[in-house]
Amino acid sequence: MSIYTTLKSPFGDLHVVVNESVLIAAGFGNLDSLLSRLTREKEIELKFVRQIAWISKAWTDYLDGDMESLTTFEWEQNGGPFQQKAWKVMTKIKAGKVLSYAELAKKAGSPKAVRAAGTACSSNLIAPFIPCHRIIGSNGGLGGYGYGVDLKEKLLIHEGALD
């Protein structure tokens, strides 16, 4: 059985789903939307809990300035080989830094797969733990974000990547 909880933050509610000690989904905004994306990929039984202590601590640490506290967890999500590589690359981007979609494609082993890099970002079910918000356009523009460009900008400002 998987458990889920909701964490409060200045960025809005962050919903987190864990199966044993493995992150399988996280995201802002609408809980039903996140859960429907997750259960579309696989059938799981979910139970709400008031708190997942180690997740709550990491989130509090992140909000308090420990920018690396979120990218240290074991995670699992469905995706092809390129997506898996892209997500691993994202977890290695230090807070305060960004990569372009083209740089992500190159670091994930397929320099011409810029659109696939964008797809890896949009299909990421474990934001902000897999920090797809740190991927921007080659022209320096923020690009898209599943939870809205305004939230992407706020996260990047919090992490020191933007003024």
What's phi and psi for 145, nearest 5 deg? Answer: -160, 130
pLDDT at 50 over 90: yes
Q: Residues 131, 94, 25, CA angle at the centre, nearest 5°?
A: 20
pLDDT at 38 (0 to 100): 85
Q: Average pLDDT for residues 58-78, to the nearest whole number?
A: 93
pLDDT at 10 (0 to 100): 94
pLDDT at 41 over 70: no
pLDDT at 16 over 70: yes
Q: How far apart are CA 23 and CA 103, in angstroms?
A: 26
Closest CA to 150 of 132, 133, 125: 133
For residue 141 the two structure tokens come to 């523009």
Side-by-side strand order, sheet with 46-48 = 22-28, 14-19, 2-7, 46-48
Show which residues are catalytic: 132
